[in-house]
Structure 1
Amino acid sequence: MSNATTTTNTNTQPATPAIDNGRKKKGPAFSKAEDVALVKAYLGVTTNPTVGTNLTEEGLWSSVVEGFVENCENLFNRDVSSLKSRFNSISSRCQFFSASYAKVYAARKSGENEDDWYEQTCARYVDFRPANSGKAFGLKHVWDLLKVEEKWKPRFTKENSEVEVVGETQPRPVGKHQAKAAKSSKRKRPSEDEDATDKESLEMVRAQQEIDRECNAISRLHVYQEKVMMTHAIMSVNMTTLSDEAKYYHKKMQKKIVEEMKRDQEKEKEEQRMIENVVEDVEDVEVEEEEGEDDSEHE
């Protein structure tokens, strides 16, 4: 018989959480190393075109757990439920942070850089309530990994001055999560940790949608301001200093601007006429109602 001995990884803790009064006790908080290992494992599966698109949810998380174990040193074994809960929290918070970052970027000032925008976004994140309740972001170690992926990247104004509308061109994964949660309401009630994560995700999505709307409004304002400045520059040019070709170009542009202004004025007049007609119709209805009331009183 062989004298082989079995070794045990002393850094590995029990995979099953302890039970206290019929409820699972929460394990220790996730470390930065565990967060990074979890995100890398998730991206390693979902960004693999030959694997991620063909997996069921159970298969997805089975693969994520395997990747998490491979990526993580000083492993504290986590069950699938705790990994899902942690990743959902990371995902929603990073989505919210990216939306805030895009808003800060849209209002950027000359001389600022990425470090400045990050610090300003952190301040916005802490100040936003009730979603964050004064808590610091604290997820830069995983946001740096997620911010380059389509689902979590900040949405900036396109270089051609067209505004990229957040949430209208790309599906939101958290939205699908909420839809699934609604369908499964008749199933077994989730654990308190999962319940809290769902509420947090919903608050983050609502807050992110509001920030998206504000960000898009700021971006559209910038585009409008640039257009006004360009129009003013073209209309104010001194023709005597230009070459024949430049004169021809600017005259064409000036004519186009004037024609566009006339069209806008006609459109405004038409809208005003429509408003006046509606007001007159409403006033006529009110008069008829008053006359009808008077007739009924006389009867």
Structure 2
Amino acid sequence: MIINLFGCFFVFSVSGAAVNLMFPMIAMLWKHGENIYFIVLPLLFAKTSFGAILVSLTFFSFFLCTIGTKVVVIEMIIMSVYRAVTRIKFIDQTTSRNIIICIYFLFMHLYTYIYGRLAFGDIRVRYFYFSLILSMLAFVELLVCIHIYHLKRLIVNLHTMLGEPPNNFWRYLGYPVNLYWTACWYIITPVFCIASGGLALFIIISGRLYSDIIALTVITFLPLSVIIIIMMIYITKAYGTGKAIKSLFVADHRWVPELGINRQQALYEERAARAMI
């Protein structure tokens, strides 16, 4: 979700202090990594053409690394709108999806523009306030998704909602499906959180981190802890009752309404939400 889309950028602010002790030029790139959405010309950070190419490739790599998460975010928002606004199914599917995506990007660009205007004038706005607002937004989004899907259905959607990629081009870009999504869910994301927390703890113990950056890290990763705690509770209950943990991630079709007409409507919305533009 949104916290997964932006949260990875905040690791630059935390680990920049450690990198700064080794290579100043790398530290410059590392500490400014969270400005990807606000930097239009990477040339501003390079004194030579080689440096400009290096920075451009770095930012482009970050974009490719997060493209899978962007697709998941947009699909989750589209599915949420389809379920919450029932009358939208009377609009042409392609048109309705384009409208939802345009509104989403409009708000994102507006939010990014306002933050970018304030970021360079006040360091507190640049780090602390933005992280606080982002965490509150992610927490509300998590509650809304659980309310709409229920937790078990939300897990199933995250695991299977995108289906097969439309072509091999999306596979090469890291389209979040099959083995890639499984690896991210079970390995990459937990390792990333553990490594970031360990690095932050090391810097805190060594006394090289300011208190506001500590608060930034805690607030940024707080919504992730909510997801982890809830999932651990469900896994513990399943283990205590003798059920296999895999049963929590098996597609469950009992979520549909019992009445036939409502069931058909729900299945229609499910197919509409899964369809790609």
Shared fold, TM over 0.5? no
Bigger helix fraction: 2
Greater CA radius of gyration, 1 or 2?
1
